[in-house]
């Protein structure tokens, strides 16, 4: 049985929504009647997702399209200004933007990679949240941060900086839930397991190997498969719904197909596949 949400009249901003989880999330909100803001660095991707949102919106609502880099504060400011200027308000902020860089602490470029990860995965979220509070307070809105189940894991396979960024994001989520509660702004996090998207290919991993990684890990998941963007979008929509999740804030919601529950590690089959890259 599918769950239908009604976000008619709501304004939803989804960062990193030109592909992957962000695109699936923007589409689900559009299908649920919301006015959606589609944003990312890839103009073609933004345009493609926005068209799909319009086509599948019950009233063919046209999303706001904003191309920008959220590690740039002026682009963040432009994104927020454009959203409020067009729609007059903001109800839901989905901080989905993120990158992954495989890097080892003993390598020459580790610290530069670490800074780039933190700038995208944490600092941009902090800045955007900071700037959106005044608007979300007016609508008793809410924030959903897209983290990762690796925030609960240590790893020795060149992803320590990424894991750290997501652990910090989880703590930011909980702190903001407590701090923004008096303003009636709810803040939650969704922590996916491995999800089929172009996220890993952007790390320089060939697509064929990405599929092998997903197949290898998904076969070990208790649900019998790796995740899809729609799986995470459904979790985001649940948390964004005041009717369904109005009593939830500060929650770290793991949606990982049983990855953590089964004590699975990236050091097994996936590491054998990744070793082909070294």
Q: Which of these is catalytic: 114, 162, 221, 238? A: 162
Which pLDDT score is estimated for 152? 92
What does the buried/exposed string (b/e) look like for 103-138 if buried means 16 or more CB atoms within 10 Å of the residue's CB? beeeeeebeebbebbbbbbbbbbebbbebbbebbee
CA distance 125 to 35: 21
CB 145 within 8 A of CB 171: no
CA distance 264 to 167: 18
CA-based diameter of the chain, in Å? 54
Which pLDDT score is estimated for 196? 80
For tokens 């240590």, the residue is 154
CA gyration radius, the chain = 18
Q: How many residues does the chain have?
A: 278
Decide if 162 is catalytic.
yes
CA distance 148 to 49: 23
Which pLDDT score is estimated for 253? 98
Which pLDDT score is estimated for 203? 52
User: Spelled out in words, what is the top-level CATH class assigned to the domain 11-199+229-258?
Assistant: alpha beta
Which pLDDT score is estimated for 179? 98
Distances from the Cα of 186 to the Cα of 19, 27, 100, 158, 268, angstroms:
26, 22, 27, 34, 37
CB 237 within 8 A of CB 28: yes
Give the pLDDT of the chain (278 residues) as one tens digit per residue. Answer: 357 899 999 999 999 999 999 999 999 999 999 999 999 999 999 999 999 999 999 999 999 999 999 999 999 999 999 999 999 999 999 999 999 888 899 999 999 999 999 999 999 999 999 999 999 999 999 999 999 999 998 877 788 999 999 999 999 999 999 999 999 999 999 999 989 876 554 555 667 777 777 888 888 999 999 999 999 999 999 999 999 999 999 999 999 999 999 988 765 544 554 555 44
Nearest of 143, 144, 190, 150 to residue 166 by alpha carbon: 150
Give the percent of the chain with pLDDT over 70. 91
Threshold 0.85, pTM exceeds: yes
Which pLDDT score is estimated for 267? 57
pLDDT digits (tens, 9 = 90+) for 222-277: 999 999 999 999 999 999 999 999 999 999 999 999 999 998 876 554 455 455 54
CB 30 within 8 A of CB 6: no
Q: What secondary structure does DSSP assign to 253-269, as a single string? A: EEESTTTTTTT--TTSH
Give the side-chain half-sphere CA count within 13 A for 159. 22
């Amino acid at each position: 049985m599918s769950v239908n949400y009604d976000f008619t009249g709501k304004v939803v901003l989804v960062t990193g929504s030109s592909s992957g989880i962000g695109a699936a999330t923007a589409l689900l909100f559009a299908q649920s009647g919301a006015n959606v803001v589609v944003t990312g660095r890839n103009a073609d991707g933004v345009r493609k997702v926005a068209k799909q949102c319009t086509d599948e919106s019950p009233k063919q609502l046209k999303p706001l399209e904003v191309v920008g880099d959220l590690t740039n504060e002026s682009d963040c400011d432009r994104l927020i200004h454009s959203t409020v200027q067009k729609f007059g308000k903001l109800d839901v902020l989905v901080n989905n933007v993120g990158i992954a860089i495989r890097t080892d602490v003993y390598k020459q470029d580790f610290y530069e990679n670490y800074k780039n990860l933190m700038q995208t995965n944490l600092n941009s979220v902090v800045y955007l949240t900071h700037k959106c509070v005044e608007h979300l307070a007016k609508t008793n809105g809410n924030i959903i941060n897209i983290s990762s189940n690796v925030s609960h894991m240590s790893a020795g396979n060149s992803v320590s900086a990424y894991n750290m960024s997501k652990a910090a994001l989880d703590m930011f989520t909980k702190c903001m839930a407590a701090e923004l509660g008096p303003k009636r702004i709810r803040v939650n996090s969704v922590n996916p397991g491995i999800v089929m998207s172009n996220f890993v290919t952007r790390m320089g991993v060939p697509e064929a190997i990405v599929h092998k990684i997903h197949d290898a890990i998904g076969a070990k998941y208790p649900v019998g498969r790796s995740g899809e963007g729609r799986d995470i979008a459904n979790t985001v929509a649940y948390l964004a719904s005041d009717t369904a999740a109005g009593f939830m804030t500060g929650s770290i919601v793991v949606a990982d197909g049983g990855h953590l529950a089964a004590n699975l590690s990236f050091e097994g089959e996936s590491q054998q596949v990744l070793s082909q890259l070294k």
